[in-house]
Amino acid sequence: MIYLDACATAPLRPGVLQRMVEIQDQAWANPSSLHGFGLRASEALERSRAQIADKLNADFRDVVFTSGATESVHLALHGLAGLQSPGRLVISSVEHPAVSGAAHQLFRNGWEVVEWPVDQLGRIRLERLDELLSPPTRILSLVWGQGEIGTIQPLLSVAEACRRRGILIHTDASQVLSQGLPNWSQLPVDLMSASAHKCGGPRGIGLLLVRESLRCELKPLLSGGGQEAGLRSGTESVVLAAGMAAALAQIERCDPDQLAVAGNGIAELRNALRDRLLTDERLVVCGDPDQRLPHHLSLLVSDHNGQPVSGRQLVRSLDAQGLAVSSGSACSSGKDSDSSVLTAMGLPQTMRRSGVRLSLGPWISAGDLDGITERFFHGLEVENNS
């Protein structure tokens, strides 16, 4: 099998499992306990926090551990909404369901929720900026790198516009951190969410970066023992935090403007794969061709007669050929329905189920490309003839 589904979950990076085993052995106790076992666990937890903060150029107090990006997003949006009376929340029309789901909950709590429309490449329509960032908008949540189509949003310019207008901004960076770590001290956003398992760390842990100005104010989702400076009660997983720190330690810092070419040459590899696959006229690239996550390739697929092919069925045919890919985002691939992202991009209805996503990681090399292309074409042929 060749694994091309890094955007769903990446395998553990080298040394991560070993580090987790070591920490589980040495620091297995409850980090809130006052005895020596507890202190050892607490020290290990804080060391992981400090390492992660250091990689992101953040204050260690800015790093809040959660169970993953879905929880981080909910803490960010509910936490911000809890600070004020209901107003307007703007999200893009291509958010992950974690964000649109949290926004929907806020809608039921009296918030007006407005979706920022995107163009055919999945980029938010910047000509709508003044209108959407006018009062009563109080919060903006914008996905940085879209998981299904790979498009990178113009986060920096939008975030600066939010700052000028006093609008709080959260970004979902779940698909970005695996490619390059932003410099948090220079990023004009208030809150940032991510998951470890997209970065070669373990599942079950993520982070929310929180600016100092919000730390004491953000409303927690969970009450209880007051861990994570009161922002996330529940006994912390020292071992998962260590795994996340060990994974992020292997990722380089990246200038946000360079995100599309970050990731140690992975964009060149992806481009080489894209060029091979595009020799078949049944395949077209979906999403922004240039401003896209460097490890991400999304394709719309049709048959010899130009009729769209079901992405889900193609995923099964490719699996039988030894290629693990995904149709759209992993979370929605269990459902046979139109992709909400492709719908928001204005694709004709017949094409909204014909997307497949190939996402690469450091385990793929140039030597794999022939095999991938061959298997892909073979799987497509089988699907066309079925």
Ligand X SMILES: Cc1ncc(COP(=O)(O)O)c(C=O)c1O
Place of tokens 């940032």: 192
| Active-site hit among 7, 254, 286, 331 | 331
Tell me which residues in 58-87 interact with ligand X (CB under 6 A).
Answer: 68-70
| Residues 6+ positions from 289 with CB-CB distance below 8 Å | 121
Token readout for 32 is: 């809130």
Query: Measured between alpha carbons, how far is 240 from 262 in angstroms, rounded to an integer?
Result: 26
Q: Does 172 bind ligand X (CB under 6 A)?
A: yes
Query: Measured between alpha carbons, how far is 211 from 83 in angstroms, rounded to an integer?
Result: 15
Here's the x/- map for ligand X, 191-230, by CB under 6 A: it reads as ----x-x---------------------------------
Token readout for 323 is: 């290629």
Task: Pick one of 90, 98, 192, 240: the residue that binds ligand X (CB under 6 A).
Answer: 98
Task: Pick one of 141, 174, 332, 339: the residue that binds ligand X (CB under 6 A).
Answer: 174
Rounded alpha-carbon distances, angstroms, from residue 178 to 31, 117, 196: 28, 26, 9
Bridge-based pairing of strands 191-195 and 283-285 is unpaired
Binding footprint of ligand X, residue count (CB under 6 A) = 15
Q: Does 330 bind ligand X (CB under 6 A)?
A: yes
Instruction: Using the minimum distance from each CB to ligand X, give the nearer residue, 353 or 357.
Output: 357
Instruction: Using the minimum distance from each CB to ligand X, give the nearer residue, 203 or 378.
Output: 203
Under DSSP, the state recorded for 263 is T
Alpha helices in the chain (DSSP H): 16-26, 36-55, 69-81, 97-108, 129-132, 155-165, 212-215, 238-248, 266-277, 311-320, 340-344, 369-385
**Is 254 one of the annotated active-site residues of the chain?**
no
Least distance in angstroms from the C-beta of 148 to ligand X: 8
Here's the x/- map for ligand X, 114-143, by CB under 6 A: it reads as -----------------------------x
Least distance in angstroms from the C-beta of 120 to ligand X: 20
Which residues of the chain form contacts with ligand X (CB under 6 A)? 68-70, 96, 98, 143, 147, 172, 174-175, 195, 197, 329-331
Q: Known catalytic residues? A: 331
